[in-house]
Amino acid sequence: MTTSHYIAGRWVEGQGSDCISVNDPALGQPFAELMAASAAQVDQAVAAARGALPAWKATSASERAGYLRGFAEQLGQRREALISVQMRNNGKPRHEAEIDLDDAIATFNYYAELAAQLPSKNREVPLAAPGFTARTRLEPVGVVGLIVPWNFPLVTSAWKLAPALAAGCTVVLKPSEVTPLVEQAYGQIADALGLPAGVLNIVNGKAETGAALSNHTGLDKLSFTGSNSVGSQVMRSASAQCRPVTLELGGKSAIVVFDDCDVDQAVAWIVAGITWNAGQMCSATSRLLVQDGIADTLLPRLQAALENLRVGNPLTEEVDMGPLTSQAQWLKVASYFATAREEGLQCLAGGRALDRDGWFVSPTLYADVPKDSRLWTEEIFGPVLCARRFATEEQAIAEANDSRFGLVATVCSTDLARAERVADALEVGHVWINSVQAVFVETSWGGTKGSGIGRELGPWGLSAYQSVKHVTRCLG
């Protein structure tokens, strides 16, 4: 690919020094390459966004809503191509690639509706004090940098782009170097819709390009999704400039299964929570807490279910789970298998890389994992489930909350009063009761503790790109 950066409404060649290889993880082989953007091109993208801001923020909310509906429609028109590229570059099974596309479409449609309602939010504020009136204006934050990871590229970018554009911000998006292809669609759609030049810019590159963007003094805000280690660097850049930042970071989430559960149903939820996207989900429920009375029945069934999953190349086989998306991730997961062996963990399923081309690992289950094991405490980002038993509700809550992360949790119980009580006690941003990984655009996304700062989706996702202004007038 030669022209892979979208700056000021034009497709341009990368002038950076890094060549990015785009890989098919099922074969472990590259199928495309592109040159990264240079720091000067990041400058140009920020300048283009700055230049486009006055006119874009002056557009009517209904005009912006029209563009967002156009994004949703155009994503739908590119359906097959976008599904194929996610299958090839991410290694996603077809049905997962379809879900991602539908999620991105729903996100643009949802924020189109919120954009259309914006004028009604700018309203008079009733004051107790006489002699004054006050009114609210929700203004765009300004020029926003958006840095995203590789695990759900189409979706993560939609969760940032749609509310940012709805609010009237202009943006510079930096996709992950692991999956730079699918988000090219957002630039192509901007072209097709005649979005004013500079409103949406896309620069591709590795850490250096990300750092050039996150350190840039021309931004008004940065929204980052990715690892905790890079998130803390992004936060340092923001703090150096006293600039707002949204951080969507990692997780080590619990799934709590009580004795009264239907075992088959619980097994299905547990498997989905750790094997969708080959476990490469910030929200993977990778810590299983199972109550004593059901553990000896559930664990063997879970072992069988994981061993029976069809793992393979989504482009050529019927599969439940594809490969890991990058070699780096495959090596990282393999290193946890080695740690598990060193720690003497009890492996009930998997625990190894597959002996075939590509970056495949077996769905893995370790039982009775000690609380201080690295596998229990650290985000692995692969299909690796660790289980522990508990006796009481209080113990389950305490163990689930005993983590430096706080992204999500799942509670499985037919006693709904108890499930709701446990959900209220969990220190996370989102809890699923008797369901798994069900994300709706109307509800919020984001975590507590080490899982980040701020919320995406819902009205909170829009607020993240708005600045509140009040105009107060003396009547006297």
In the list 204, 225, 403, 413, the residue contacting ligand NAD (rule: CB under 6 A) is 225
Question: Does residue number 23 form part of the binding site for ligand NAD (CB under 6 A)?
Answer: no
Q: Nearest to ligand NAD by Cβ — which residue?
A: 210
Question: Among residue numbers 274 through 293, which ones bind ligand NAD (CB under 6 A)?
Answer: 282
Judged by CB under 6 A, the residue of 53, 162, 200, 211 near ligand NAD is 211
Q: 303 to 322, contacts with ligand NAD by CB under 6 A?
A: none
Query: Taking the C-alpha atoms of 454, 455, 460 and 462 in order, what is their torsion angle to the nearest 10 degrees?
Result: 90
Q: Binding string, 123-162, against ligand NAD, x = CB under 6 A?
A: ------------------------xxxxx----x------
Interface with ligand NAD, residue 219, by CB under 6 A:
no
Please, what is the minimum distance in Å from the beta carbon of residue 428 to ligand NAD? 11
Stretch that binds ligand NAD, among 165-173, 247-255, 269-277, 388-396 (CB under 6 A): 247-255
The answer to whether residue 227 forms part of the interface with ligand NAD (CB under 6 A) is yes
| Residue 165 touches ligand NAD, criterion: CB under 6 A | no
Contact residue for ligand NAD among 210, 322, 350, 351 (CB under 6 A): 210
Contacts with ligand NAD by CB under 6 A: the residue count is 29
249 binds ligand NAD (CB under 6 A): yes
Give catalytic status of residue 282 as yes or no: yes
The reply on whether position 206 binds ligand NAD by CB under 6 A is: yes
Q: Is 19 a catalytic residue?
A: no
Q: What is the 3-state secondary structure (H, E, C) of the chain?
A: CCEEEEECCEEEECCCCCEEEEEECCCCEEEEEEECCCHHHHHHHHHHHHHHHHHHHCCCHHHHHHHHHHHHHHHHHCHHHHHHHHHHHHCCCHHHHHHHHHHHHHHHHHHHHHHHCHHHHCCEECCCCCCEEEEEEEEECCEEEEECCCCCHHHHHHHHHHHHHHHCCEEEEECCCCCCCCCHHHHHHHHHHCCCCCCEEECCCCHHHHHHHHCCCCCCEEEEECCHHHHHHHHHHHHHCCCCEEEECCCCCEEEECCCCCHHHHHHHHHHHHHHHHHCCCCCCCEEEEEHHHHHHHHHHHHHHHHCCCECCCCCCCCCECCCCCHHHHHHHHHHHHHHHHCCCEEEECCCECCCCCCCECCEEEECCCCCCHHHHCCCCCCEEEEEEECCHHHHHHHHHCCCEECEEEEECCCHHHHHHHHHHCCCCEEEECCCCCCCCCCCECCEECCEECCECHHHHHHCCEEEEEEEEECC
| Catalytic-labelled residue, pool 169, 183, 261, 282 | 282
Binds ligand NAD (CB under 6 A): choice among 56, 110, 381, 465: 381
**Residue 409 touches ligand NAD, criterion: CB under 6 A:** no
Whole-number minimum distance, CB 220 to ligand NAD, in Å?
17
- Select 211 or 436, whichever has its Cβ closest to ligand NAD: 211
Q: How far is the CB of 175 from ligand NAD (least distance, A)?
A: 6
Q: How far is the CB of 322 from ligand NAD (least distance, A)?
A: 17
220 binds ligand NAD (CB under 6 A): no
State the pairing for strand pair 466-474/221-225. Answer: unpaired
**Whole-number minimum distance, CB 156 to ligand NAD, in Å?**
6
Residues 6+ apart with CB under 8 A from 296: none
Residue 446: CB minimum distance to ligand NAD, A? 7
State the minimum distance, in angstroms, from the CB of residue 315 to ligand NAD.
23
Which stretches of the chain bind ligand NAD, using CB under 6 A? Answer: 147-151, 156, 174, 176-177, 206-207, 210-211, 214, 225-227, 230, 233-234, 248-251, 282, 379, 381, 407, 452
Q: Which residues are catalytic?
A: 248, 282
